[in-house]
Structure 1
């Protein structure tokens, strides 16, 4: 336990330092080639470079490989995920510079998610009673939605940090306590560390760089895979609780836009967290409330794992849903 805790801490530190150094080194290139200029749907007011996700993802993958051991069977099992993350990051990088049409973009994303889902061991299922092909199809659709919702929710400074750090920290704790296998635990530690290294460059009100699609898309894939591994260990309620705010904000927003017959596939500013800034909340207030909500959800997830009770899971999910609903309603109203 002590040895694994030390490896996890070292993983976090190395990923944070590696990401910070790489972000600093990339800044001149990003300023020159990947400048995001404000428009009617933007939350920023001045041209700001995007693409720091390159540093986050590179640090995460490199440090995870070293922590797991590049010659171990565990690392070989991670190769499809790592390749998919790199490919989907390349798609995001191209889209950052020259937007790709919706259908080709989704098709490429689906190929990446499909490669990860189809290479899962055939004896691993969340719901054994379901036919394997049906569960894999559901995972493909869910994975495609998850990577895009992480992208959709990356619309404010520190927003992905406010979501990613509580989730990755919880996954790390669950792994140290034996509820999650070592590979996803170390991947979560590396991703959390990389987000820590990125955070100083993305401070609200003084952001020097954004993640860009090159970061948010592969981060969604990596985080989704870690959550999937938690579900495969039998902790489905905890898996749902950890990203519940992201799931609720993005899914409800999508359904609302579809009901209004809006072009929901286009960029917009109608997420609850975006409406909050229009309703008088500062960016720091929004991301602070999101972070506190995610910490509460992480605590509920921990209780779910500790109790390991179907009846308790139902109650915990209801409590989590109530907490998220309260935050969404608060964001939807004018600040007093």
Structure 2
């Protein structure tokens, strides 16, 4: 495809996925109101029962639009079809958990099997760090992907926060595909997911009328993890770390803190930095605006790391990115009135 055809295709995918996602959400909304109400719990930021499950439409629109584009414009690989199948499976597990909570171990086991299936069909030459044995790298990727799938779910606890994370990140990935930094099928997938989240955004605008649910947040985590893996395989490891850096830091630091305090970290809680921010005087709009702007900055740094390759530039942009995330996390953990004073 020529550059003009590629950018036109990516824009068309965003628009098509947004329209399809919004239309599907409207169609299933009455069913979600009737059967899938999310009732407030210890982790919740909402105070009244709110329907969840819009992720059904987001994932369906993303996979359908991306699948058609890949078949039409590129040559789909076995790995991509396994990714799509694993995404549907994890979404199904999430849907069951939304309706009737599942025990932790069976849920994690099914997710791990889906991720393992993807890793098993990856070409043997795909390796990020040749210094490690391939089996060890794949084992580490399994753990990392499983964590990212679940942390994406943990971070989906505030109106618009997943939109503020996914839209700038996937838009950046699509542009990286246009610049040939990642394979075109991955860029198509990122563009479709970006559009599907834009279609969902009006329904999740604070105060939200609809939530993604586990049926959406878990498979979104898998699709994002795949995009970051493709970016790393293309030799852009710094960019693959920078794009999800806020989610990684907020969720991982929170987990380590709870483990250090010997708290039951697997139980619903409100210890994430973005949750503490609302308790510290920040409005929901304040939090998501900061997350959105931070992600735009991280995406710009990721693009810079691709444009200026080299170990020194990678270290510099990673340090700048880490400093930016640290600043936002510190703000979220500080009382707003004290900060203003």
CA distance in 2 between counterparts of 1:173 and 1:71 reads 17
Task: Please give the TM-score of this superposition, normalised by the length of structure 2.
Answer: 0.97
Pairwise CA distance, 1:230:
0.4
Alignment-derived partner of residue 54 in structure 1: 56
Question: What is the CA–CA distance in structure 1 between the aligned matches of 2:219 and 2:41, rounded to whole Å?
Answer: 25
Within 5 Å, which residues of 2 pair with 1:129-148?
129-148=131-150
Deviation of 1:76 after TM superposition, in Å, equals 4.0
Q: Deviations over 1:26-84 (max 9, x none)?
A: 00110111001112321001110000000000000000011111696325441100000
In structure 2, the gaps of 5 or more residues are none
Q: Give the secondary structure class of the aligned counterpart of 2:76.
A: helix
**1:154-233 equivalence runs, <5 A:** 154-205=156-207, 207-233=208-234
Instruction: Check conservation: 1:69, 1:75, Cα contact below 8 A.
Output: no
Query: In the aligned structure 2, how far is the partner of 1:274 from the partner of 1:27?
Result: 27
**1:107–1:51: structure 2 CA closer, same or farther, 3 Å change rule?**
same
Check conservation: 1:65, 1:75, Cα contact below 8 A: no
1:74 is paired with a residue of what secondary structure? coil
Q: Give the superposition deviation at 1:266.
A: 1.3
In 1, Cα distance between equivalents of 2:117 and 2:269:
30
- Mapped contact 1:172–1:188 kept (Cα < 8 A): yes
Shift of the alpha carbon at 1:286? 0.2
Q: Distance in 2 between matches of 1:253 and 1:195?
A: 26
Post-superposition Cα deviations, 1:145-184, rounded to whole Å, max 9, x if no partner, equal 0000100000001111000011101101111111111011
8 Å CA contact 1:53, 1:214 repeated in 2: yes
What is the rounded CA distance, in whole Å, between the counterparts of 1:141 and 1:264 in structure 2?
Answer: 17
RMSD, aligned α-carbons:
1.1
Number of the residue aligned with 2:6: 4
Aligned to 1:289: 290
Q: Contact 1:168–1:192 at 8 Å: present in 2 too?
A: yes
Moved over 6 A (4+): none
- Greater alpha carbon shift after TM alignment, 66-75 vs 298-307: 66-75
Alignment deviations for residues 72-120 of structure 1 (CA, whole Å, 9 cap, x no partner): 6325441100000000001000111111111111111111111111111
Q: 2:111 aligns with which of 85, 109, 112?
A: 109
Please tell me whether the aligned partners of residues 22 and 199 of structure 2 are also in contact (alpha carbons under 8 angstroms).
yes
| Structure 1 partner of 2:36 | 34
Q: Secondary structure at the match of 1:73?
A: coil
| Deviation sequence 1:226-264 (CA, Å, 0-9, x none) | 110000000000100000000000000000000011111
Distance 1:297 1:283, change over 3 A: same
Q: How far, CA to CA, are the matches of 1:35 and 1:15 in structure 2?
A: 25
Relative to structure 2, which stretch is displaced further, 103-112 or 249-258?
103-112
Structure 1 segments unaligned to the other structure (5+ residues):
none
Aligned position for 1:335: 336
